[in-house]
């Protein structure tokens, strides 16, 4: 799972697996939206622009730069 290895920039004081633990605990955007704000809740919201871009929405995860995928930061040389 992404977020478990590699260099992610200066230390912000979080454990290296903080994102993995957060997503594992509560899920991704869709998994959070549907039970709390979706069509079958009192809010009855349609995802609308909160859909993934591939489904006509505005949500898009920008690509991770190659230097981060390889495990080092460009600033390190």
3-state SS assignment for residue 59: strand
* Residue of 33, 4, 32 lying closest to 18 (CA atoms): 4
**What is the pLDDT at residue 3?**
56
Look up residue 23 and give its two tokens.
């997503």
Measure the CA–CA gap between 74 and 48, rounded to whole angstroms.
37
Q: Which residues pair with 52 in a beta bridge?
A: 59
Q: What is the pTM of this model?
A: 0.49
**What is the pLDDT at residue 41?**
92
Query: Which residues of the chain fall short of a pLDDT of 50?
Result: 72-77
- Long-range pairs of 8-17 with CB within 8 A, sequence gap ≥ 24: 8/68, 9/73
> Is the CB of residue 68 less than 8 Å from the CB of residue 8?
yes
Percent of the chain with pLDDT over 70: 65
At 51-72, the pLDDT tens digits run: 888 888 888 776 656 555 555 4
């Amino acid at each position: 799972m992404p977020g478990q290895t590699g260099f992610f920039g200066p230390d912000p004081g979080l454990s290296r697996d903080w994102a993995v633990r957060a997503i594992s605990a509560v899920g991704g955007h869709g998994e959070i939206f549907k039970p709390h704000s979706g069509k079958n809740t009192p809010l009855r919201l349609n995802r609308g622009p909160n859909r993934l871009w591939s489904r006509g929405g505005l949500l898009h995860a920008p690509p991770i730069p190659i230097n981060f995928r390889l495990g080092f930061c460009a600033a390190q040389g």
